[in-house]
Amino acid sequence: MKQYLYPILLLLFLGCKGEAELAMERGIQYYEWEKIEKAILEFKYVIHILSAETGKTHYKQIQLLSRAYHNLAVAYAKKTWYKDALKEAEKAFELIPTDNNRKVIDLIQNKLLSKPESLSSSESANR
């Protein structure tokens, strides 16, 4: 009996995803369903969980944290919250400096540079 119980328990333990991974998956799904604000909450929850953990951070956790910041930046950009998006994209790049993270920073900066033109016409309409 023990010879079967230990492998089953090992598979269950290794196969179970953590709370942060599940929240990340929910966030991605919400984003795909165009439920951006719910996606933002899930990505922020991942960041909260991983930031609150003490002790040594494993590379896998750093990757997940960077991905959460990256996804949060993309979600903020989708809402046109470019300043917030840039902050989160920079955090993602700081953790894992990849071309993909750098590309998101560049895209958001370009949106920020082009945004003041569109704001000036809407601001003048509100005055």
CATH number at residue 54: 1.25.40.10
Which is nearest to 61 in space by CA: 13, 87, 24, 104?
Answer: 24
Q: At what angle do helices 59-78 and 19-32 cross, to 10 degrees?
A: 20
Give me the domain span that covers residue 84. Answer: 2-126
How much of the chain, in percent, has pLDDT values that exceed 70? 73
Give the pLDDT of residue 12: 47
Which is nearest to 65 in space by CA: 45, 85, 39, 86?
Answer: 45
Give the pLDDT of residue 115: 74
Q: How confident is the prediction along the chain (127 residues), in pLDDT tens digits per residue?
A: 656 655 554 444 444 568 999 999 999 999 999 999 999 999 999 999 998 765 556 888 999 999 999 999 999 999 999 999 999 999 999 999 999 999 999 999 999 998 755 444 334 334 3
Which of the 8 DSSP states describes residue 79?
T
If one counts the domains in the chain, the total is: 1
Q: Which residues contact 19 (CB under 8 A, 6 or more apart)?
A: 49
